[in-house]
Chain A
């Protein structure tokens, strides 16, 4: 991450309100975003990264992966 990332997702009340958005709207937005980002991360995402790593390792070794991430979910 670089310096511009440090405020991403921040709910620091000391963050200055954006002059266009204003403090009232800005504080509600930050509260809402903090609520969403504060939720527990479902296992499916960490499992997915694990599967991607596993597949990559298998490819490196010239082996077929034991499992392939199912990226084509039933959309």
Chain B
């Protein structure tokens, strides 16, 4: 099996996006990088199952998502921590936005149930369509929309007072 040039180049191009998705899902950079490594390795091994010309990024995100849930199943107790400790461990990287507002948002995001968090990341941050997100999450489009709606409501509750619902825009 030889990965096509499209896949090989696509893997390199996708790394920053895969890392961002992984960090958005699990917050911890060490685990996130492990997930990305597993994703790259499996994508290389399964390259013959990828059809050139289709959505490579969605294919890679699907692999990473599956790795994430596989990890959750293996280490459920460790990763199940969604009530504060996980948020406290969220990565703090040099050059990150110093905004307390964004930090609070990050913590709120970490408290969402996994299915809601991945839905809002895929559509709201990664830019996938509802249909693409449904394919990645292996669910119906309607399910994606309902998860998005619940995620927004939950974020608004968690960020109460931050005017998530009525602020026209947020400074970067």
Q: Which A residues lie at the B interface, using CB under 8 A?
A: 1-2, 4-5, 7-10, 15, 18, 20-39, 41-42, 44-46, 48-49, 52-53, 56, 60, 69, 71, 73, 75
Contacts and interface: CB of A to CB of B under 8 A. Distances in A.
Nearest to B172: A31
Contact of A29 (B71, B101, B120): B120
Interface string B34-59: 10111011001000000001111110
Given A21-B123, A29-B120, A36-B19, A8 B164 contact: no
**Which of B54, B55, B71, B125 has the most C-beta atoms of chain A within 10 angstroms of its own C-beta?**
B125
Contacts of A31: 97, 102, 170, 172
Interface of B: 2-3, 8, 10-13, 15-17, 19-20, 23-24, 33-34, 36-38, 40-41, 44, 53-58, 71, 74, 93, 96-97, 101-102, 105-106, 109, 120-121, 123-129, 132, 145, 148-149, 151-152, 155-156, 163-170, 172
A33 B125 contact: yes
Contacts of B40: 45, 48-49, 52
B16 A38 contact: yes
Top 10 closest pairs, chain A to chain B, by CB: A36-B20, A33-B125, A7-B127, A37-B20, A29-B124, A29-B125, A37-B16, A24-B167, A9-B17, A20-B148
A15 B129 CA distance: 13
A75 B56 CA distance: 27
**Which of B106, B124, B152, B165 has the most C-beta atoms of chain A within 10 angstroms of its own C-beta?**
B124
A44 B56 contact: no
B34 A48 contact: no
B16 A2 contact: no
**Which of B20, B101, B151, B168 has the most C-beta atoms of chain A within 10 angstroms of its own C-beta?**
B20
Contact of A35 (B34, B96, B126, B151): B96
Given A33-B125, A41-B16, 10 more contacts: A7-B127, A8-B128, A21-B120, A21-B152, A24-B167, A27-B170, A32-B102, A44-B37, A60-B2, A75-B34
